[in-house]
Amino acid sequence: MNHQKNSWIAVPQHSDFPLQNIPFGIIQYQNDTPHPATRIGDTVIDLFYLAEYGYFDSLDIKNLSPFSAPVLNDFIALGKQTTNAVREYLMKLFAEDNDYLKNDEKTKAMALIPVEEVELLLPLNIGDYTDFYSSIEHATNVGKMFRDPENALLPNWRHLPVGYHGRSSSIVVSGAEIHRPKGQLKPADSDQPVFGPSRRLDFELEMAFVTGKETKLGESVPVDQAEEYIFGMVVFNDLSARDIQKWEYVPLGPFLSKNFGSVISPWIVTLEALEAFRTASPKQDPEVLPYLSVSGEKNFDINLEVALQPENSEETLICRSNFKYMYWNMNQQLAHQTVNGCNIRVGDLYASGTISGSERDSFGSMLELSWGGKNPITLNDESTRIFLEDGDTVTMRAFCEKDNLRIGFGESVVKILPAV
């Protein structure tokens, strides 16, 4: 990869979307039907019009209908050989020394759109959603607060990627407004539960990967082949109602506390765009079973940030973390998900679980940042928080930086509205 190669499209300094990124998303522009696009700098590139005007003819793609579909599933299902060829072609097409499209004013007028003029939609039809629990720092913190501080991790945690199947219907795209959930809460001074709005609404800083290849029921994905099945990644905010969760999660785990809304960033960044940012995972002890054993660098150095903005005020950066802290990597997560023969489909989403580091300012949830409400966070406007309040906006950002190359994911933004 040539880190220094520039585009003839203007790319602002510190942009998440240089020529080397080429993420994929779904846009709606004026009265057009939704369809696939990519982005360089602050310019959205309409892939439907590039296909219409013959720009993908040289790639010998037999079926161009995925470029007009309202979600990316059909495009992703073309397979990595094809989707990678499209991405590489776009990098060449928009390189500063390529005049082929640069001089085609008619196509440019149709295909190049300022990002502020388009609506960014949910990029996938998400059939299934798994939420893992793969940060050892987060799991340890929660174990200390909810269970025995001396035995924070349950006996299985270091042996397998713990996870559960969540609700895909309530996954929404960045820019959403989500009402505070209601449910059963059990006050500490009461023997009986009460019903009402959550008083401990929280965010969870996560990343998620998208599967790009399907398997049949009974098949498993070998851990050393897992990346062949992973198309790309998004930022994922798994909103959580901690008080509802505490009462409901025994014996089967999260339910109403998690399924009222999760928010993803609109652009899917491919694994290929992240290649320069590979890094080693934390050392796993004890040694994992053979079906989970990996070699080489299977994690990625992705900087993560969370900002909280009260209504009519400025935002405060309250968390800086990193995806490289993940104890269980994506390869292991997918291998474990399928080792029992569970089949996967194109467009399924697999969230990492909350990503926390070892320092307080790297904790990926309000639960940890305020330590269960004992240590309020002071914001820039001098207000304090222990959990999210109505009117608060949570913005998550993710980006990689190395050797003057920055590859980013954009933002996952959500505003909390009062319960209804």
Say what the pLDDT of residue 2 is.
42
Q: Which CATH architecture has domain 25-121?
A: Roll (2.30)
User: 273 φ, ψ to 5°?
Assistant: -70, -20
Question: Which tokens is 179 given?
Answer: 């009402």
- In the prediction, which pLDDT does 256 show? 97
Q: Which tokens sit at 42?
A: 């602050």
8 Å CB contact between 211 and 80: no
Q: Which CATH architecture has domain 129-417?
A: Alpha-Beta Complex (3.90)
Q: Where are the domains of the chain?
A: 25-121, 129-417
Task: pLDDT tens for the chain, 420 residues: list them.
Answer: 444 689 999 999 999 999 999 999 999 999 899 999 999 999 999 999 999 999 999 998 989 999 999 999 999 999 999 999 999 999 999 999 999 999 999 999 999 999 999 999 999 999 999 999 999 999 999 999 988 888 999 999 999 999 999 999 999 999 999 999 999 999 999 999 999 999 999 999 999 999 999 999 999 999 999 999 999 999 999 999 999 999 999 999 999 999 999 999 999 999 999 999 999 999 999 999 999 999 999 999 999 999 999 999 999 999 999 999 999 999 999 999 999 999 999 999 999 999 999 999 999 999 999 999 999 999 999 999 999 999 999 999 999 999 999 999 999 999 999 999
Q: Which residues pair with 216 in a beta bridge?
A: none
In whole angstroms, how far apart are CA 19 and each of 43, 243, 266, 406?
11, 45, 18, 10
- Cα–Cα dist 77/331, whole Å: 19
Catalytic residue annotation: 138
**Residues 15, 348: Cα–Cα separation, whole Å:** 28
Place of tokens 């509205």: 417
Residue 368 DSSP code: H
Question: Angle at Cα 405 formed by Cα 404 and Cα 409, nearest 5°?
Answer: 140
Distance CA 179, CA 168 (A): 17
Structure tokens at 305: 């940030």
Helices (H), 174-320: 242-248
